[in-house]
Structure 1
């Protein structure tokens, strides 16, 4: 085991609490809370590590999220528990759609790893409420989620409407749960969502689109656009979404080969050797700058090459590495794993949230749990035969 791996495990322990994984070991802003997406990603790393104490913390994370599920089905974005004082947030400027899908993925992955069907049964009603709410969030009953601006992990970015990342997470959640439920209706739903993703996000589709005029106006690149809405398509490259597309085996071999070449070339050309979260960066001269500039509750952080606007995240690259591994790109997987560890060990293993892709300077919160989780999850997948349920 490398020192970087050991330090990553150490940070997950430092971010463990009686109620689950905290987003950071430091009490900065609202990071010392149990978050849905952060907690599940850390939970996947806990399963990969095989450490019983970390796996138990993952279980506590899921229990905390389920305990505070809203009566209509919403999973908390985050929960703060200080003594007897409980604060539950379902989102800031907008609700967090991906909290629901990450929760379902988390319960399913935990049950799969532990071969524990009773865990699925315990949270069956919670999961069914999640799926019912996701159905409602289609609004037009045409199988794609409609996500508000600020409605997922990229909460200060420009994606809204039919966001690719959220469609793919929903498919992953449905598939994960249905590996236990074996439901024909869920299988049909997966098929219908998949068809709509293929029709509306892939080039050269002949079937009727949601937004035919906007679809005809865009120039498709060697990746899938990040989102579209009634106002048209946003065609920035979304590293997380396109990594999920590879993991879920979307597209034919020609598409996947082009996407793999594009993504790895982009990563290897940066100073960090990591894939930027979204690319290219939006600048003051771009039409979406005003939308980006105003989408922040406190302070503006999305300067070009930083945060979501072209910044590089160890967490996102963890999933990119999983995508490379799933396509048997072992040398490229090793390259990304090394770069994740290199980023995490900057400033004496400070595990920063993200980095400026141009200057390599760290941004955001240090001792970020999911930055550590990325290295653990990819290392164990690459070297110790860990397999997530996809």
Structure 2
């Protein structure tokens, strides 16, 4: 059947990236008015709020609006609510009695008045589990109150008249219009959208940023899983179902109006980049491919080019396939679709998986010369994030290549890896306990609940859920996705403190909560333990927090505002920590002087890391700030162009104040995240694909 109605939410789907929303609007307007489907916004927002967005030109004018979590339907052309549905929604509804019950729930706070309607009572209940939500339902039923409880986004609790939901409202509208559900295409991103996907016969689009609660609810249904977030994912889905024409490659667009961001960003960052900068970015893309190919070995991606770096002391560690480095390189280079690079990704994964222990421990690295694995990493400590990144990279590889045989062959190893990771949550609170210096900051004193690792844990759980769906293990997938939803809520509760969240409720209060208070945070904290917290800003952890969908758009904008304001992108994009740890600071460790690596503004102590810079560019781009992202990409190209002995060295790290290269040359992950950022922004060049194919034969680098 052809699509005759398209129903989409606003926040998290159509709204989130203003540039992508504008692209959707342009493509929608380009459809013939005779054949274009009806457009319906199905949202938790109030009807008047949606109309304000429409009148401001933020989103296209729809034909219908299902508003306030399915409690009202507006016929936009007729200029008002559909009375028949409104009367149906009001039957047996006692809002005042409902509010008395919900107000007594531990940990709940009432949402502002502008989120309330006569048919919807809205509350915040952070990180509630299924038992807590079922408890609310039970208390309402005990008092004879006919109501539906909708919980989504690990926070939002809506109570509406019994039998009311976004899905029921859409079903009523279809009947009202004489449409078969098979003629309806729906989209969604969170738990409140589950009911629209449950309508028999509908087809659906899950945007890439969809929450696990919705992914698990749509297992087994005809759903397109977009690989891009927000409106970009909608555009891809509409093309998949034949509403839009073929998806065009992303182009270097321009930023849309965003007064808040315009006040924050410098005037230069809001203008289009110059032709010279475009040429620099494109040349950087070609040189990044050369760099990646310098790191191709028979065992997979080396950390840095073996032929171009001198080996001194512990530098021998770099002559290995590292778990985290290889995985990040894989995730950044899949977009190139170059056969030799995709083969390098496969070799890397095979090397790591074949050396994973029977109980699921992934090696920190595997030596390229003789294939000997090392499980302890630098200093005999640990490398917890190797396992986390491996699961994420396997999902990315299988999703991109469709290689089901690879997944099936390594299923038992991946099961063991996930069990090993789960064992790192020794107190079963949902978060991993990380030993000091037990991740990529392997000479830096972070431990216990470390933001970076917890974000990866959430993402690994989501990725494993997707892989289980591919393996046909739907019940296990639903359980894993449920776990991931709880982990996300736990991260937000622990690492983004707020004075608006009551201390009582479904999440226990820690000793640190009682001893310290930060007020309202503007970013995710770097580290938390039962006895203290680290208030510094871990730039990589916050950037990944948004790219991996722990942070929503409002929090990501708040974090960007802070990080841009304090200048973490100076002298280059981007330093990994703000502020740096100085000698005498309680966080200082004597071993920071080992090899002079972690002096202030060095290495993990506020050095500038190009691989984080590539992710930073993607972070800004995903928030719809096209011009700012392009300017940051040009600056990153200039950074990567610098070198200690070569031009276009893609050095490992740069000094945090002088901006001079300080690490290893031709670092694979520095080039990889640059390539991914170029693809996101549409800067790839037409003749770059073969760059470096004959630069270095692979076999000699195995020795």
1:17 has 2:17 as partner: no
Alignment of 1:1-390 (within 5 A): 2-25=282-305, 26=309, 28=311, 29=315, 30-82=317-369, 84=370, 86-93=372-379, 94-182=381-469, 183-204=477-498, 205-206=501-502, 207=505, 208-209=507-508, 211-214=510-513, 217-219=516-518, 220-267=520-567, 270-272=570-572, 274-289=573-588, 291=589, 293-294=590-591, 299-347=595-643, 348-383=647-682
- CA–CA distance in 1 between the matches of 2:409 and 2:629? 36
- CA–CA distance in 1 between the matches of 2:482 and 2:448? 23
- CA–CA distance in 2 between the matches of 1:56 and 1:117? 16
Give 3-state SS (helix, strand or coil) of 1:351's partner: coil
Higher helix share: 1
- CA–CA distance in 2 between the matches of 1:134 and 1:51? 32
Give 3-state SS (helix, strand or coil) of 1:2's partner: helix
- CA–CA distance in 2 between the matches of 1:384 and 1:367? 21
Give 3-state SS (helix, strand or coil) of 2:595's partner: coil
Which TM-score applies when normalising by structure 2?
Answer: 0.52
- Unaligned 5+ segments in structure 1 are 386-390
Which TM-score applies when normalising by structure 1?
Answer: 0.92
Deviation larger for 118-127 or 250-259: 250-259
Give 3-state SS (helix, strand or coil) of 1:227's partner: strand
Conserved 8 A contact 1:306-1:356: yes
- CA–CA distance in 2 between the matches of 1:115 and 1:269? 37
- CA–CA distance in 1 between the matches of 2:524 and 2:631? 24
- Alignment deviations for residues 136-189 of structure 1 (CA, whole Å, 9 cap, x no partner): 111111110000001100111221100111111111112123223131110111
- CA–CA distance in 2 between the matches of 1:158 and 1:136? 22
Runs (4+) of structure 1 exceeding 4 A deviation are: none
- Unaligned 5+ segments in structure 2 are 1-280, 470-476, 685-703
Bigger radius of gyration: 2
Conserved 8 A contact 1:68-1:88: no
1:250 shift after superposition? 3.1
- CA–CA distance in 1 between the matches of 2:512 and 2:386? 32
1:244 shift after superposition? 1.3
1:212 shift after superposition? 4.1
Conserved 8 A contact 1:223-1:237: yes
- CA–CA distance in 2 between the matches of 1:237 and 1:323? 16
Counterparts in 2 of 1:233 and 1:319: CA distance versus 1, 3 Å: same
Conserved 8 A contact 1:108-1:176: yes
Conserved 8 A contact 1:263-1:275: no
1:355 shift after superposition? 0.9
Pairwise CA RMSD: 2.0
- CA–CA distance in 1 between the matches of 2:462 and 2:304? 30
Conserved 8 A contact 1:211-1:232: no
- CA–CA distance in 1 between the matches of 2:299 and 2:660? 33
- CA–CA distance in 2 between the matches of 1:193 and 1:230? 17
Conserved 8 A contact 1:225-1:234: yes
1:269 shift after superposition? 6.2
1:388 alignment counterpart: none
1:230 shift after superposition? 3.2
- CA–CA distance in 2 between the matches of 1:282 and 1:264? 19
Q: Provide the aligned length of Structure 1 versus Structure 2.
A: 380
- CA–CA distance in 2 between the matches of 1:70 and 1:155? 22
- Answer 1 or 2: higher relative contact order, Cα 8 Å, separation at least 6: 1
1:266 shift after superposition? 3.6
1:366 shift after superposition? 1.7
